[in-house]
């Protein structure tokens, strides 16, 4: 479709990113999907092209690898350069430990992914927005950006950084007509906790027990709403929790 729109979603192999790619494809958008798990990217690409007849460009790289980010995103094929929306979604928490006991490797992986990866991808995509004279960056933050919770230490810090970077991008890119939105979800049942607890399914299940957490599709629908507002309207900062959650500290659980 000559006039179809293009969205680039990082971390599209699971959770929010996958749901966002599906939601936009279902609305006829062409999608660039990225992640480290190549097989999952391939499967999703087949599903989206087969299901919705849209174009899909799967790009396989680690957002922590600055060289790979620039190689993959710096020279997109000509017919993929008119990107309308970038969703900086790839991210993770690793561990939930006291400050004096947490793993330094986990801290570094979160900082490198959630902060540096977001910066690398943003800078690689900006030239396309600048050439077009418009664009929209949607950064996935967290309620962890708004409040630091016990044993959340560096994960919360990385999401505070996402909030600060979003504000900085909005200010510095204002004259280039680039919208910047930070979406801050609360607890959502994705692979997030399985990753955080390093494959411990029982620990992950405990996080979502006794209440109905957000689902990935909730965030995908909200992202679609945010991305399709009129050109002169920009949602800057959006906190979204399930009804049972008041903030990063308080969730009403039953049973």
Q: Among the options 128, 155, 224, 225, which is catalytic?
A: 155
- Interface with ligand NDP in residues 61-120 (CB under 6 A): 62-64, 89-92, 113, 117
Give which of 12, 150, 3, 13 is closest to 84, Cα–Cα. 3
142 within 8 A of 159, measured Cβ to Cβ: yes
Q: Judged by CB under 6 A, which of 32, 59, 83, 248 binds ligand 8X3?
A: 248
Residue nearest to ligand NDP (CB): 15
Q: Is 118 in the site for ligand 8X3 (CB under 6 A)?
A: no
Q: Judged by CB under 6 A, which of 8, 17, 30, 248 binds ligand NDP?
A: 17
Tokens representing 217 are 């599709």
Asked about 52 being catalytic, the answer comes back as no
Q: Is 14 in the site for ligand NDP (CB under 6 A)?
A: yes
The site string for ligand 8X3 over 181-200 (x = CB under 6 A, - otherwise) reads ------x----x--------
Q: Would you tell me which residues interact with ligand NDP (CB under 6 A)?
A: 10-17, 35-37, 62-64, 89-92, 113, 117, 140, 142, 185, 187-188, 190-192, 195
């Amino acid at each position: 479709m000559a006039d179809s729109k293009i969205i680039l979603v990082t971390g599209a192999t699971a959770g929010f990113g996958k749901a966002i790619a599906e939601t936009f494809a279902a609305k006829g958008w062409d999608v660039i999907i990225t992640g480290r798990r190549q097989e999952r990217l391939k499967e999703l690409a087949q599903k989206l092209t087969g299901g919705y007849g849209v174009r899909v460009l799967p790009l396989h790289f680690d957002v922590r690898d600055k060289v790979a980010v620039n190689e993959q995103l710096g020279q997109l094929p000509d017919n993929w350069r008119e990107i309308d929306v970038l969703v900086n979604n790839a991210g993770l928490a690793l561990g939930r430990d006291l400050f004096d006991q947490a793993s330094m490797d986990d801290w570094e992986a979160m900082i490198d992914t959630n902060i540096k990866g977001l910066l690398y991808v943003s800078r690689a995509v900006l030239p396309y927005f600048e050439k077009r004279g418009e664009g929209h960056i949607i950064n996935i933050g967290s309620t962890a950006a708004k409040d630091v919770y016990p044993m959340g230490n560096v994960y919360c810090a990385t999401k505070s950084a996402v909030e600060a970077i979003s504000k900085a991008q909005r200010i510095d890119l204002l004259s280039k007509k680039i919208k910047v939105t930070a979406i801050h979800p609360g607890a959502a049942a994705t692979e997030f906790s399985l990753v955080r607890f390093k494959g411990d399914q029982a620990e992950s299940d405990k996080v979502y027990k006794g209440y109905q957490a957000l689902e990935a599709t909730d965030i995908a629908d909200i992202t679609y709403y945010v991305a399709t507002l009129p050109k002169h309207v920009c949602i800057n900062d959006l906190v979204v929790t399930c009804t049972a959650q008041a903030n990063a500290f308080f969730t009403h659980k039953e049973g």
